[in-house]
Amino acid sequence: MKTGRELPKYRGEKLNSLTFQCLEGQLVYKAIELKVFNFTEEEIQAEELAKQLNLNPRNLELFLKALVSMDYLTYKSGFFANTDETNYFLNEKSSMYIGENILYWRDMTSLENLEDLLVNGGDIDQANKDNGSDFFDFRSMGLGARNSMYLGRVQGFLSNIDKLFDEKDEINILDLGCGSGVLSIEIVKNFANAKATLVDQEQVINMTREVVIENQVADKITLVSGDFNSIKLEGKYDLIIASGILDFVKDIDQVCQNMYNALKDDGYLYIDTHKLDDNFTGPKNFILGWLSANLNGLDILKPESVILGSLTKNNFKLVDIENNSNIIFEKANKND
């Protein structure tokens, strides 16, 4: 029974905050779409910005003040401007702009048709055609992620590569399902004698080429258009990168066997999984991020235990690296 003398058993903050989390998302999405943060790099009044964007001055000012309340903008003496963090991540002029990635995942995770999907289900056959390759715009996914990868992931990866190879080592790299290719790009930028072969489907590899050229490493990288599920792996490699792809492969044992055969006896395999649990209930961000796709019928995800089990079965051994936030393997017979 409720009483004014005691607090309730649960405070309810998570539930009470849902509405405002949704509102904040809607406002930031619209600001990115309108490119507001490009115009607020320098101080500007709402009336002037309204002229440039062809918007209603009164309502634009209310919109901007809402962004101020959420610490995306500052407001002083009638002028609005980006905070330093907003300018860093949401101004298209910034080299760390991640607005396109935010909008990509907004669209990919949309549940606008949730009731229809709950009533009628998804088109399972169509969603899983070619292992779901037509379900996602992987080019936009990779392009949007190329900057967000630098929010700690690339740095942690390079830190561990430093522990495996010396600066002057000759390193032959194979990057399967490379996406933007930034992991391999950063290795060849930091290791003078490294070279890399990057593999992804045609729609993605054309985007990868743009990132390679942008980083001025085209002379050290070979780009290959192909499906990492079935491509024949030529040559022997010191390092194979399979970042975020083993969750989705058709035949996990076959892919692991192919990677084993393509790896030098003293080489390493780097993987990065989404850490999906056996019950498909966590981690939260991955479950929510893929919920729309799964409700629409996609059924290709694999728990991390299945991935690690296949690697062990195919004679890979986990490498013990201090403070290792990545998963790195070597051949089980490496030190035999």
**Tens digits of residue pLDDT in 241-286:** 999 899 988 899 999 999 999 999 999 999 999 999 999 999 999 9
- CB burial of residue 141 (10 Å; 0-12, 13-18, 19+): middle
The pLDDT tens digits for 180-198 are 999 999 999 999 999 999 9
Distances (CA, A) of 206 to 11, 147, 223: 51, 17, 9
Q: What is the pTM of this model?
A: 0.90
The pLDDT tens digits for 56-90 are 999 999 999 999 999 999 999 999 999 999 999 99
Q: What type of residue sits at position 39?
A: F
Tokens of 118: 């709950």
Q: What was the pLDDT predicted at 323?
A: 57
How far is Cα 66 from Cα 10, in angstroms, rounded to an integer? 30
CA neighbor of 269 nearest in space, from 305, 249, 286, 245: 245
Give me the phi and psi of 320, to 5 degrees please.
-90, 105
How far is Cα 283 from Cα 15, in angstroms, rounded to an integer? 20
- Specify the DSSP element, H or E, that contains 175: strand 171-176
Give me the phi and psi of 241, to 5 degrees please.
-105, 125
Q: Which has more pLDDT, 300 or 267? A: 267
The pLDDT tens digits for 22-55 are 999 999 999 999 999 999 999 999 999 999 999 9
Distances (CA, A) of 31 to 80, 108, 290: 13, 19, 25
Q: What is the mean pLDDT of residues 156-177?
A: 95
Q: Would strands 79-82 and 73-76 be described as parallel, antiparallel, or unpaired?
A: antiparallel
Q: Which has more pLDDT, 332 or 213? A: 213
Distances (CA, A) of 218 to 185, 195, 208, 271: 9, 10, 11, 24
Percent of the chain with pLDDT strictly greater than 70:
94
Q: Give me the domains of the chain, ranges plus CATH numbers.
A: 15-88 (1.10.10.10), 132-278+300-331 (3.40.50.150)
Cβ(203)–Cβ(209) below 8 Å:
no
Least confidently predicted of 128-137, 290-299, 318-327: 128-137
Radius of gyration over every alpha carbon of the chain, rounded to an integer in angstroms: 24
Start-end of H helices in the chain: 13-16, 18-33, 36-39, 46-53, 57-69, 84-90, 99-108, 114-120, 124-127, 138-148, 153-164, 182-190, 202-214, 252-262, 284-295, 304-313
Q: What was the pLDDT predicted at 35?
A: 98
Helix, strand, coil % in the chain, rounded to nearest 5: 45, 15, 40
Distances (CA, A) of 32 to 61, 103, 221, 299: 16, 8, 34, 32
Q: What type of residue sits at position 8?
A: P
How sure is the predictor about 137, in pLDDT bands with cuts at 50, 70 and 90?
low
**For residue 202, is pLDDT > 90?**
no
Q: What are 14's strand-pairing partners?
A: none
